[in-house]
Amino acid sequence: MNSRQVDAVIDLSYGVLIFVSIVLIVTVGTETGLAFGFGVLVSYAVHVVWKMARFDPDWMTQAVEEAVDQTVGETVEEAVGQSVKEQVGIVQDQIETVEQRVERRPREDEVEELIEETVEDDTQGRSDS
């Protein structure tokens, strides 16, 4: 018998056992049938995990990698987004500070007027003396 035939027979036997649990529920009682049925389902889950590992040994690794990639991607995205928001806030504060400093500085025409007044005062002061 090859492995595929053995797997088919095992899967069929699990189906028969589930059918037996249904019959037990009807004939013997709910508690006994449910206990037997849950036992069959748990053993079937173990069988499926074993089968997956046998036919595709990397399936668990791939599933874990995908979960980790998704989690790390979301975490990094949130961290980068928060960091960018903080840095943008800092830069905006610095820009406002620079704008305030620029507004306090005299404009070019004001500087020229002051220079002209100073030159005129110097010229008048020299001509008076």
pLDDT in 10s for each residue of the chain, 129 residues: 677 787 788 888 888 888 888 888 888 888 887 888 888 888 888 887 777 777 766 766 777 788 888 888 888 888 888 888 888 888 888 888 888 887 777 777 777 888 888 877 777 766 665
- pLDDT at position 62: 76
- Which pLDDT value is given to residue 57? 64
User: Whose structure tokens read 């049938």?
Assistant: 33
The pLDDT score that the predictor gives to residue 77 is 86
| Beta-carbon contacts of residue 23 (< 8 Å; ≥ 6 apart) | 33
**pLDDT computed for residue 59 by the predictor:** 64
At 9 the pLDDT is 83
Cα 82 to chain centroid distance, Å, stands at 13
CA 33 and chain centroid, separation? 44
What's the DSSP call for residue 58? T
Which pLDDT value is given to residue 99?
A: 84
**Helix/strand/coil for 1:** coil
Neighbours of 51 (CB within 10 A): 14
Query: pTM of the entire structure?
Result: 0.37
